[in-house]
Amino acid sequence: MSRGTNCTAYRWMGAHPTEQDGVAGTHFAVWAPNAQEVCVICDRNHWRHGAYYLNSSDSGIWSAFMPEIGPGETYKYSIRTQSGTVIEKADPYAFAQEHPPKTASMVYDISNFQWKDDEWVDRRRQTNWFEQPVSIYEVHLGSWRRPHDGRPYFSYLELADQLIEYVHELGYSHVQLMPISEFPFDGSWGYQATGYFAPTSRYGSPDDFKEFMDRMHQAGIGVLIDWVPAHFPTDGHALGRFDGTALYEHADPRQGFHPDWNTYIYNYGRNEVRNFLLSSARFWCDVYHVDGIRVDAVASMLYLDYSRSHGEWVPNYQGGRENLEAIQFLKDMNTTLHGEFPGILTVAEESTAWQGVSRPVYDGGLGFTMKWDMGWMNDSLRYIRRDPIHRRHHQNELSFRMIYAFHENFVLPLSHDEVVHGKRSLLSQMPGDDWQKFANLRVLYGYQYSTPGKPLLFMGGEFGQWTEWNHDTELDWALLRFEKHDGLRRYIGDLNRVYRDHPALHQLDCEPTGFEWIQADDAANSTYAFARHSKDRRETVIVAINMTPVPREEYRIGVSDPGFYKEILNSDAAIYGGSNLGNAGGVRAERVPMHGREYSVKVVLPPLAVLMLAIQHPEPEADEESA
């Protein structure tokens, strides 16, 4: 473990039920190189140090076989430090942990589950997700829905059945789960994990989570999980000062303590720590068949001076601010996961101008499949929050994004981060009266789905919660009784179906040939128009956006081709809660030059609305030789 890269440490580290000389028991192994003694403590020895000793080794790993201890039994490691103090720690490699606030690890056999998702995994392996309609529904399992029978949470199995039905209804391709690695404090939402190999016991057992994954896959739904290798909490039973010394973290607080979150920072330069994290990333793909990981807080990993003032950080050996060890770790992680699990997605939450986050490692990048476009999110929300009368002065806040739109492979996130800490819900952030708030939100979603990138929306945004997200209660599902909220939910479902059914809207999300501005400078009217093209150029979708509450009755848009342009989506439709202005199913191009094009269409552009018009191009006629 201390030499070279190993991503499968979970196969022998931790607690593994087994037999030895015909006797059933459990083999324990833990890394504590600076300990004087390590014991397993449990009910059988009354949680006292000194009964079940582990054997030391030159590598710093303590291990032993303990007869009679089997699945379902709880335990911890009791460690005598160099100073003689005895501390108790949960198992870093435990496959299960007690339900918080209890903190003991649990022996669990993870080898018996029978998967039925072979067809999904085979299809995933052969899929080029860049060209597929990937739309992501971000979910916090503990507050999506809650039972009304006194229980705090639904189980993984109950959640699977409910999510499958709802996600199918809305047309999402993937769900993204906020961290499900075991964590002690509900208010961290899972972003301060203590169980890097244990799905949280809040919703059931490890096998229950496997069943959740299996059902989702059999229903054709991909599952991404949030994963947090940037930092870990200081809870006494966790990784911090694990054997009495700074083992997983740096000893120097300028390198090993995160002031923003009051957490420890991993020592990525230590081989055993890298292997621990690499093994965890691989574990979720291997053991739980997850379809990818979204890596949280990547920016804090890349820079040694992240959120620090002068004198509060230590430069790298070259004198720079880049965390070279963390960078190498991310490259190793992506290389390993993409090499061993073809078709999985790795997504970076990274908010800086770092180059090549989603470019291959062999091409100098970090190797992620995709990256969250935080610039798109910030610019779009800043613009849409403005009163429409002022938007003419900020036209480039939306158009600027296309300057860099293809530098990375982007996910376009409207995530949980935008509806917490006093920011209010997305609907409440919109300007105007209630009608305008809903119309503005429909415009924002229509823009998100029509501009290049893969859309992500946090739960509750699909039907317009009025209050910001609260992890202590379920979403306000009662709002669906009201027409405007149900209309917004119906709109999201239609957006997903249009996005999925029209290749022009997704096939070239990551290629500049799939996008073409028609006009982005009509600031006087606060309108935009652009074209999206399919890979084979058989389809073009014209997108027109009106960012004011003033309808444009005869708005002319330049197009390159003659023919009939079918109205495939109008966010102002009455079924969504709009005013129902539209184009009677579509418009025909006229030979009237506009916007540098030979033809144009004259449309009714509704107030605060997104309009999508599709034209199918005929197949090119085969020449005589090919015929």
Total Cβ atoms within 10 A of residue 402: 17
List per-block mean pLDDT (blocks of 10 residues) for the chain, which spans 627 residues.
76 96 96 97 95 95 95 97 97 97 97 96 97 98 96 97 97 98 95 96 98 98 98 96 97 92 96 97 98 97 93 93 97 97 97 95 97 97 97 96 96 97 97 98 98 98 97 97 98 98 98 97 97 96 98 96 97 97 95 97 97 87 45
Task: Specify the pLDDT at position 627.
Answer: 37
Task: Specify the pLDDT at position 624.
Answer: 42
Measured CA to CA, the distance from residue 284 to residue 11 in angstroms comes to 13
Task: Specify the pLDDT at position 3.
Answer: 57
**CA-based nearest residue to 161, from 115, 121, 212, 225:** 212
Contact 35, 55 (CB under 8 A): no
Measured CA to CA, the distance from residue 246 to residue 242 in angstroms comes to 7
What are the DSSP calls for 276-338, one per residue?
Answer: HHHHHHHHHHHHS--SEEEETTHHHHHBTTTT--TTSS---TTS-SB-HHHHHHHHHHHHHHH
**Alpha-carbon dihedral sign for residues 112, 114, 119, 124:** negative
| Beta-strand relationship, 527-533 and 515-522 | antiparallel
Contact 278, 207 (CB under 8 A): no
Total Cβ atoms within 10 A of residue 525: 17
Nearby residues of 574 by Cβ (< 8 Å), 6 or more positions away: 580
Query: Which amino acid type is present at position 397?
Result: E
Taking CA 480 as the corner, what is the angle to CA 474 and CA 484, rounded to the nearest 5 degrees? 130
List the catalytic residue out of 91, 138, 272, 349: 349
Domains in the chain, number? 2
Measured CA to CA, the distance from residue 386 to residue 51 in angstroms comes to 67
Tokens of 320: 């720079």
Name the pTM for this structure: 0.96
Judge whether 340 lies within some domain.
no
Nearby residues of 45 by Cβ (< 8 Å), 6 or more positions away: 51, 52
Judge whether 585 lies within some domain.
yes
Contact 441, 418 (CB under 8 A): no
Measured CA to CA, the distance from residue 145 to residue 327 in angstroms comes to 38
Task: Specify the pLDDT at position 617.
Answer: 85
End-to-end CA distance of the chain: 63
Total Cβ atoms within 10 A of residue 552: 19
Residue 101: asked if its preceding bond is cis (omega within 30°), the reply is: yes
Tell me which of 42, 75, 106 is where a domain ends. Answer: 106
What are the DSSP calls for 95-133, one per residue?
Answer: SEEPSTT---EE----S------HHHHHHHHT--GGGS-
> Helix (H, G, I), strand (E, B), or coil: what is residue 489?
helix
Task: Specify the pLDDT at position 625.
Answer: 44
Taking CA 195 as the corner, what is the angle to CA 53 and CA 42, rounded to the nearest 5 degrees? 30
Radius of gyration of the chain (CA): 27
Judge whether 54 lies within some domain.
yes
List the catalytic residue out of 109, 182, 249, 296: 296
Measured CA to CA, the distance from residue 247 to residue 60 in angstroms comes to 11
What b/e string do you get for 248-285 counting C-beta neighbours within 10 Å, with b at 16 or more?
Answer: bbbeeeebbbbeebebbbbbbbbebbbbbbbbbbbbbb
Measured CA to CA, the distance from residue 411 to residue 506 in angstroms comes to 12
Contact 62, 56 (CB under 8 A): yes
The long-range contacts involving 320-325, CB below 8 angstroms and separated by at least 24 positions, are: 323/268, 325/267, 325/268, 325/269, 325/274
Judge whether 90 lies within some domain.
yes
Q: If 0-12 CB within 10 Å is exposed, 13-18 middle and 19+ buried, where does residue 481 land?
A: exposed
Judge whether 335 lies within some domain.
no
| Beta-strand relationship, 370-372 and 345-348 | parallel
Contact 346, 360 (CB under 8 A): no
Judge whether 26 lies within some domain.
yes
Measured CA to CA, the distance from residue 190 to residue 233 in angstroms comes to 11
Tell me which of 67, 85, 106 is where a domain ends. Answer: 106
Judge whether 85 lies within some domain.
yes
Contact 518, 549 (CB under 8 A): no
Active site residue 349: yes
Nearby residues of 248 by Cβ (< 8 Å), 6 or more positions away: 92, 232, 239, 240, 242, 264, 266, 267, 270, 273, 276
Q: If 0-12 CB within 10 Å is exposed, 13-18 middle and 19+ buried, where does residue 507 land?
A: buried
Nearby residues of 158 by Cβ (< 8 Å), 6 or more positions away: 147
Contact 173, 136 (CB under 8 A): yes
| Beta-strand relationship, 410-414 and 454-458 | parallel
Judge whether 590 lies within some domain.
yes
**CA-based nearest residue to 368, from 345, 386, 391:** 345
Query: Which amino acid type is present at position 478?
Result: A
Bridge partner residues of 519 (DSSP):
529
Nearby residues of 454 by Cβ (< 8 Å), 6 or more positions away: 134, 135, 136, 370, 410, 411, 412, 509
Place of tokens 């030789």: 625
Nearby residues of 501 by Cβ (< 8 Å), 6 or more positions away: none
Tell me which of 106, 126, 143 is where a domain ends. Answer: 106
Measured CA to CA, the distance from residue 455 to residue 136 in angstroms comes to 6
Taking CA 346 as the corner, what is the angle to CA 503 and CA 328, rounded to the nearest 5 degrees? 140
Task: Specify the pLDDT at position 4.
Answer: 64
Query: Which amino acid type is present at position 330?
Result: L
Range of the domain at 517: 512-616
Task: Specify the pLDDT at position 470.
Answer: 97
User: In the Cβ-directed half-sphere of 7, how many Cα atoms lie within 13 Å?
Assistant: 18
CATH of the domain at 577: 2.60.40.1180
CATH of the domain at 26: 2.60.40.10
Eight-state DSSP code of residue 170: H
